[in-house]
Amino acid sequence: MFWNVAWRSLAQRKASVLLTVAALAVSVLVLVGIEHLRQNARTGFARTVAGTDLIVGARTGDINLLLYAVFRLGNASNNIAWRSYEEIAALPDVAWTIPLSLGDSHRGYKVLATNQNYFSHFRYGSDQTLVLVQGTPFDGLQQVVLGAEVARRLGYQLGDQLVLAHGAASTSFTLHDAHPFEVVGIFAPTGTPVDQTLHISLESMEVIHRQGKEIPALEQLQPRSITAVMVGLKSRIKVFQVQRLINQYRGEPLQAILPGVALTQLWSTLAIMEKTLRAISALVLVAALFGMAAMLLASLRERRREILLLRTIGASPLFIGGLLQLEVLVMTATAVVLALGAASVALALGNEFWVDNLGLQISANLFHAATAELIGYVFAGALVIGALPALGAYRMSRSVPAGL
């Protein structure tokens, strides 16, 4: 009976109820959506690189070096001389190095020049290695290995030819069309910037930046400089010693950073923005809850006859007050279901946007601990604010005698 009375009461005021539910659903969508994106962004950034002890680049800010070397965001302030790279690689505590050279693109996707160490030592996620779903790593000039998203979005297959462009813009008028590349491999999806990157050899990068179509011998294609270096050590105990050694390098101003520390600095920098977004979304939710309470309070005058009827058939003031709270819970639950459904659809349809712009896979699955906690706060807030109209109904019903 309790449920039927609440449902019939809401159905009689369907227009105002639907608008209230819609407003509440939008506020829950904003609250849950922002928190979900924040959690996924943190997880995605953290899993982008693993097993790398140091990242070395020209002297700049720690965050800037991390962003352009790992996430392909922004640009390097300067390059590293090849001689400096060789000296770093020759340090006794260094187990392996991955040279990285950036600066070119293909239809808006970044091109990364590196060597075979990239395929052997690059790790992401929980120490996962890169896997080729098609083809093989490049082993010669003018060969390219594509990230999964590049191949999917541009429709490339093994054996296709493509032309790289100078610079990182989506539209370039400086094409390296004298040296087309052949697709020799395609990586499996990783959910990292690797998916949005084209990979070529350092020698191939030298070839396309030389004048003319003649290709010199491989030994003549040693790079003059590179953008950054990923470094793996024989023992992580030596990480601070090697970092200090590189930071004090006299050949040129270099900087070595610990990826985890730099990532922590990045989140510290963004903490104010995160808190601001969460505060705004919480205020939007509170405004929607107060709107729901105001709608129910305004409807009490219209419902005087309904309350009179309920009292006539023997309903207690507590029953009537509880009826208002049940209506609040029904509207809140409906709004939450609508918000979660809309958020899941939006995340599934907008996944390509996040992949293209941040190189991150944002999960459409909203059912995790953080979402459950937020939904709990939503219902708690609804019950607290819903107590206002419930108390008004309780007081009104006490002024009406029970029975006939």
**What is the reported pLDDT for 44?**
74
- In this structure, are 130 and 216 located in the same domain? yes
Scanning 167-258, the segments in alpha helix (DSSP H) are 202-208, 239-247
Instruction: Check residue 234 and give its pLDDT.
Output: 92
Measured distance CA(34)–CA(19) in Å, rounded: 23
Which of the residue ranges 121-135, 212-226, 227-241, 378-392 would you say has the lowest mean pLDDT? 212-226
Residue 216 neighbours by CB under 8 Å, 6+ apart: 207, 210
Residues 108 and 237 in one domain: yes
Q: What is the pLDDT of residues 230-244, one digit of tens each?
A: 999 999 899 999 999
Q: How confident is the model at residue 304 (pLDDT cuts 50, 70, 90)?
A: low
Domain of 153 in residue numbering reads as: 54-257
| Rounded Cα distance, 1 and 333, in Å | 19
pTM, two decimals, is: 0.76
How many domains does the structure of the chain reveal? 2
What pLDDT is attached to residue 209? 76
Question: Residue 404's pLDDT is what?
Answer: 45
C-alpha distances out from residue 274 to 39, 149, 266, Å: 11, 28, 12
Whether 228 shows a pLDDT value over 90: the answer reads yes
pLDDT classification of 47: cutoffs 50, 70, 90: confident
In a domain, 233, yes or no: yes
Token couple for 212: 């003319």
**Are residues 63 and 210 both part of a single domain?**
yes
Cα separation, 332 vs 330, in Å, equals 5
Say whether pLDDT at 314 is over 70.
Answer: no
**Which residues are bridge partners to 201 per DSSP?**
114
**pLDDT tens-place string over residues 102-152:** 988 898 899 999 999 999 999 988 788 999 999 999 988 889 999 998 998
Q: 225 and 333: one domain?
A: no
Q: 276: burial class by Cβ within 10 Å (0-12, 13-18, 19+)? A: exposed
Structural domain contains residue 30: yes
- Domain check: are 365 and 229 in the same one? no
337 within a domain of the structure (yes/no): yes
User: Is residue 264, in this structure, part of any structural domain at all?
Assistant: no
Together in a domain, 134 and 77: yes
For the chain, the average pLDDT equals 82
Residue 262 lies in a domain: no
